[in-house]
Amino acid sequence: MSISIISGAAGTGKTTLINTIERSGVLTMPEASRQVIIDEQKYGREGMPWKNVERFSELVFQKKLDHLREYSEAIFCDRSIIDTIAYLRFQEKPVPDYLTSFPFHRYYKKEVFFALPWKEIYTKDPQRPESFSYQQQLSPVLEKTYLDYGFEIVYLPFTSVQSRLDFVLNKVCLPTKIK
């Protein structure tokens, strides 16, 4: 298994791109973070990055493990376990050994497609209440964390979803017109 990661701060167009990739016929792995936040909000719990990042990180890690098993044939994933480490680092919380010792390169390709903060497309919602400035501060921590774990960053262009799709599929040598 070797999955291409699409990462970056919230509201940078990652999920829109992943959904477009999936609609083009390529198997993708869903984002765990939003699913965790929705569940935590639904049951009035604290596992959100802006409330209890430790609980959030543990839940996301478990969901990502489930996804790695369930979507073992996926070509792309929306974020990775590295993002979990970055969120803890960003809030200056200890990073558990189960995260730092995870065999990332066994599951993920070395190149990470990275979406930088993009003010023109950023919107808040119930699962993304943080400001754009928060995302701008988080982004370099995400980048550094990926680099610290031996990944290479490939920046997504600030362009249309279709152009981003073509860029990503071309980089992983998949046809740009699958469907």
Q: Which two tokens stand for residue 140?
A: 């370099």
The residue count of the chain comes to: 179
**CB burial string 53-78: b at 16+ within 10 A, e below:** bebbbbbbbebbeebbeebeebbbbb
| Mean pLDDT, residues 61-88 taken together | 93
Residues 81-107 pLDDT 10s: 999 999 999 999 999 999 999 999 999
Sheet holding 76-78, edge to edge: 28-29, 76-78, 3-8, 108-115, 152-155
Residues 146-162 pLDDT 10s: 999 999 999 999 999 99
Q: What are the angstrom distances between the C-alpha of 102 and each of 148, 157, 168?
A: 14, 30, 26
Distance CA 157, CA 113 (A): 10
Please, what is the average pLDDT of the chain?
A: 91
Q: What domains appear along the chain, each with residue ranges and CATH number? A: 3-171 (3.40.50.300)
Distance CA 167, CA 173 (A): 10
Residue 69: which residues within 8 A CB-CB, separation 6 or more? none
Distance CA 100, CA 90 (A): 15
Coil, helix or strand at residue 8: strand
The pTM of this model reads 0.89
**Residue 28: its pLDDT value, please?**
94
Q: Which two tokens stand for residue 23?
A: 């609609």
Coil, helix or strand at residue 103: coil
CB contact at 8 A, 11 and 132: yes
Q: Is the pLDDT of residue 166 over 60?
A: yes
Q: What are phi and psi of 8, to 5 degrees?
A: 140, 170
In this structure, of 96-105, 106-115, 116-125, the range with the lowest mean pLDDT score is 116-125
On the 0-12 / 13-18 / 19+ scale of CB atoms within 10 A, 34 is middle
